[in-house]
Amino acid sequence: MKKSMLGVIDATMLPGEMGELAAHRSPAAIPFAGRYRLIDFVLSNMVNSDIQSVAIFPRSPYRSLMDHLGSGKDWDLNRKRDGLFFFPAPAKEGQFSRLAEHLDYFNRSDQKYVLLSNCTTIANMDFAPALDRFINEKCDILEIVHKGESAHIYLLSLGLLLDLIKNRNETGYQSVQNVVEDSSSSLTKCQYEFEGFLKRIKSVGDYYQTSMQLLEKDKWSELFNEFQPIYTKVKDEPPTNYLAGSYVTNAMIANGCIIEGEVNHSIVFRAVTVGKNSTVKNSIVMQKSKIGQNCILEHVILDKDVSIEDGAVLRGTPDNPLVIKKGSVERAVANS
């Protein structure tokens, strides 16, 4: 399948849809599952499907996303030919209008087909069977679905994509989704049902619920396996240090942490400190956050570099987790 598909990741999801988690970063760059970013999943799926040229169209702010992906080395996309490309999207309405700003890239591509995806679908998927169906059924556009709902991932020929972009003003179509949803279109539209674990992260609630599901062994095993690895930016850090008095149950804890309190049914990212007699339950704690002594956190999402001072109590609910913004300091007087 090499050289047959061009990967396009539309990372122009509005940051406001992800609340405080996307206040200073693209939704594609939101940390997830202890050591990954949301974009790692669709990007790794493309690489594992032998896609060798991937174009990412991010909306500002995208510094964090570019810092994470770099040259694409960790995904084997730092190539002399093809590889990873960034095309910051202009502030225009409509997917086709944004892609139109970079027609030269598409015109120079020698791939026959385009796999166009959003940036926040969490799955471990081989796109080869979808391409086989697309070709065998002579589809114009193939939509990947999960349990009958669109994953907002589409396959179409490069020629058709160029036609849709160039003729957008005449047809009124502003995105591939518009075409798929138009029942009067003369194009042949097919579906490919993906049966594995798949979640599309569209809100803080989606992010929290999906993260908690990964603490279930069967869900984790569906998403992470040795045959189709999920790649991410490599960081070398020491093992986590579990001090006397620490107690951990059903938790995902990354490298470089210092745990002296209790962590239960939670996800803890790299280089986090949990102080003595503190309890972290049903929560997500991102990289380099520091939790002091005698704290209680329940149904909380701490963004990166948050400091929780001794004695603070922070509680959200399963349906409305409390989000603490990046770099903030929470004191005991701010109990909730």
CA distance readout (Å), 300 to 47, 70, 170 = 34, 30, 48
The answer to whether residues 214 and 330 belong to one domain is: no
* pLDDT tens for the chain, residues 1 to 336: 445 999 999 999 876 778 899 988 999 999 999 999 999 999 999 999 999 999 999 988 899 999 999 999 999 999 888 999 999 987 778 999 999 999 999 999 999 999 999 999 999 999 999 999 999 999 999 999 999 999 999 999 999 999 999 999 999 999 999 999 999 999 999 999 999 999 999 999 999 999 999 999 999 999 999 899 999 999 888 999 999 999 999 999 999 999 999 999 999 999 999 999 999 999 999 999 999 999 999 999 999 999 999 999 999 999 999 999 999 999 986 444
CATH number at residue 199: 3.90.550.10
Q: Has residue 233 been placed in a domain?
A: no
Task: State the total domains in the chain.
Answer: 2
- Quote the domain boundaries for residue 145: 5-223
Whole-number Cα distances in Å, 266 to 37, 45, 214, 239, 260:
17, 26, 10, 18, 15
**Does residue 276 sit in the same domain as residue 174?**
no
Other C-beta atoms lying within 10 Å of the C-beta of residue 290:
18
Q: Specify whether 250 is located in the same domain as 134.
A: no
Q: Which CATH number goes with the domain that contains 262?
A: 2.160.10.10
3-class state of residue 76 by DSSP = coil
| Prediction pTM value | 0.95
The whole-angstrom distance between residue 241's C-alpha and the CA centroid of its chain comes to 29
Q: How many residues does the chain have?
A: 336
